[in-house]
């Protein structure tokens, strides 16, 4: 369940702008604000079924975009590769180059961490 939420969040970050405004709003409230379908319906003045339809169509649309474009898979692969590079550079650290290696690692670190503070597994 948590993996699916993270996956949909990533898809939303990449493809959310391609959704209608109503779809974006429903999905944002559902994914990021943890609103129930009924709560979203109340907030937006639409039925729970309309919210469900919007969320479901949005997820399917984003999954279709991902299938065609593969941006999320590419992003994940790049993050994993950067994590491997980070670890390799870390292994090169020696007393004579510690400062230079730390500088490189500091610059690389933001690209090796997932959006929610979890390191990418190597």
For residue 64, give the nearest of 26, 115, 56 by alpha carbon.
Answer: 56
Query: Can you give the pLDDT at residue 112?
Result: 80
User: Which has the higher per-residue pLDDT, 111 or 52?
Assistant: 52
For CA atoms 58, 30, 9, 2, the dihedral sign is: negative
Neighbours of 101 (CB within 10 A): 16
pLDDT band at 105 (very low <50, low <70, confident <90, very high): very high
Query: Can you give the pLDDT at residue 1?
Result: 81
Report how far residue 4's alpha carbon sits from residue 9's, in angstroms, rounded to the nearest whole number.
8
CA 5 to centroid of chain Cα atoms: 9
Query: Can you give the pLDDT at residue 110?
Result: 87
**Per-residue pLDDT tens over the stretch 67-91:** 999 999 999 899 899 999 999 999 9
Does the global pTM surpass 0.85?
no
- In the predicted model, is pLDDT for residue 5 greater than 50? yes
Residues in the chain: 122
Greatest Cα pair distance in the chain: 66
* Angle of CA points 13, 15, 21, to nearest 5°: 95
Secondary structure letter of residue 118 according to DSSP: P
DSSP 3-state assignment of 27?
helix
**Per-residue pLDDT tens over the stretch 16-69:** 999 999 999 999 999 999 999 999 999 999 999 999 999 999 999 999 999 999
Is residue 73 within 8 Å of residue 81, measured between CB atoms? no
- In the predicted model, is pLDDT for residue 122 greater than 70? no
């Amino acid at each position: 369940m948590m993996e699916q939420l993270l996956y949909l969040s990533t898809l939303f970050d990449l493809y959310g702008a391609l959704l209608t405004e109503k779809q974006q709003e429903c999905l944002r409230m559902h994914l990021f604000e943890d609103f129930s379908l009924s709560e979203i319906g109340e907030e937006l003045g639409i039925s729970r079924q309309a919210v469900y339809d919007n969320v479901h169509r949005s997820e399917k649309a984003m999954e279709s975009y991902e299938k065609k474009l593969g941006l999320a898979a590419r992003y994940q692969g790049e993050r994993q590769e950067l994590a491997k590079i980070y670890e390799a550079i870390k292994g090169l650290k020696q007393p004579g180059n510690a400062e230079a290696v730390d500088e490189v690692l500091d610059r690389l670190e933001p690209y090796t961490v997932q959006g929610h503070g979890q390191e990418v597994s190597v």
